[in-house]
Structure 1
Amino acid sequence: MFGRKKNKGDADAAAQYDEYDEYGDDDVEYEAEGYDEPEYTAATDPEFDTDSFRVPERGSKVGPYNYEDVADQLENVAEQRLDLGSVIVPVPPGGQLQVEMTPDGTPQAVHLATEHGRITVAAYAAPKSSGQWRSVAADLAETLRKDGAQVSVQNGPWGRELHAVTEGADLRFIGVDGHRWMVRLVAAGAAGAAAESTPLVAAARAIMSETIVRRGDEPLPVREPLPVVLPQELADQLSAAHQQQLAAQQQAVAAQLAALQGGPQPGVPQPDAEPRRGAEGSAMQQLGLN
């Protein structure tokens, strides 16, 4: 189930494919549009043995798991997993975290950036009976096709997967129904990156097979996204960066207002209010004009 930590390596990947954010029906998509906040990136460098970080075979009994079923095993592998509150996920070799924030500084989504593309895992409230992913996949496929994407339904280790080819990115959506939850993974990469048997899809399925969902007991509407909670150290880092950005934005706005009003601009040297005087008086007096 869990990989063993091996060596530390350099994390060197960046997200490039934001085009898929617009896809998905309004009830399901957790990424709200219209935000201009940048994504904050935090490097991580845990690596896993390739033997244990493997792709599940079709029909095999693997995760995603209920938190209650594996809680007693987490202590031994806590350093190798990223705990985001509602989901606990492994980080692939060389992966980096990208945290998408709302304007008020609340984490809205966490992405895993790899050399092959970007992987996003999110969990949603669901009824006790299974079947939500089938409904979500149908809605998602319809939306993608309306937006001009080429969509095909393919069979993966958990059954139905969506492969979408768009103008800006290659996408694969993997969903799994659990007990009162549904987890969805989105893999996004360059053209051809999300096709069958590619490294990105292999990594996506391996991550899904070891994902843990912490549903909680709170009653929630069906398809309601389960909350994302960042580890405290990362949350403190992002909060500080967010405050610095807000301060910079406020200074820029103040400078623009001052320029419009003809007043002094913060940080910009201003000329003297009176003519500069020399030993013989002002320049005007020396020229006999005053």
Structure 2
Amino acid sequence: MSGQRIDREEGRKLFGLDPAAYDAARPGHAARVYEILVERCRLVPGARVLEVGPGTGQASRELVRLGADPLVALEPNRALAAYVRESLGDQVDLRMSTLEDAVLPPAHFDLAVAASSFHWVEEELGLAKLFDAVRSGGRVALWWTLFGEGDKPDAFISATSPLLDNLHASPTQGAEGRPAHALDAEARLAALGAAGFDDATHETVRWNASWDTRGIRALYGTFSPIARLDDPRKTEILDGVANIAERDFGGRVERTLVTSLYTARRPK
């Protein structure tokens, strides 16, 4: 990756290029995340939940299944918003807005969540908005899933990284000299505290997933540094990924995924 970062406005547009392909390629979220939402964040039937950046609704569908009612989702991308509306219908109150621009009722929500989306939000302003939106004693939960162990690249990352040289970096890469954004617990917990939250916690969850050659090619196509490229360059990289998967990994790529989850409470 190069030192250049993908602009926030550009990034918010990339994932709506092909919502169905994105939804099919991504592995969803670790089961442990939802256990924590129920056990620690009181996600119960009838909980008023705010979701920031639902994307294709992978987390949204599970939030609804676990009882979020209402689920208010903020999605600025028109194509993604339409996709979520189609899959969840009136089970979600979908509002086309960024968190920064959203008008939200004060002290209203029991829980606010962001699943692999909060790096596209201006952190200080976004956390201030969430603090105002959740009720006294309400919770926030922010999580990201990393494809690998952060600073410990697995065999597939090592094999494919030369293909990704000189691409713009996602904000998930983290600040210069710091861990990946999702794994920078010192910075994320400090930001939650500065916004006024207390009882802030960080938990990492390791889980496994596997893809065949077609699946891993599709997965890489959803990564923002690749999704933003013109078609010839994108195809060149994705074909390279597929060739490595087939030739060096026997057509089946096993990966360890790391979900980094932060929760906090608005003081009573």
Same fold (TM over 0.5): no
TM-score (structure 2 length as normaliser): 0.28
Structure having the higher Rg:
1
TM-score (structure 1 length as normaliser): 0.26
Q: Which structure shows the higher helix fraction?
A: 2
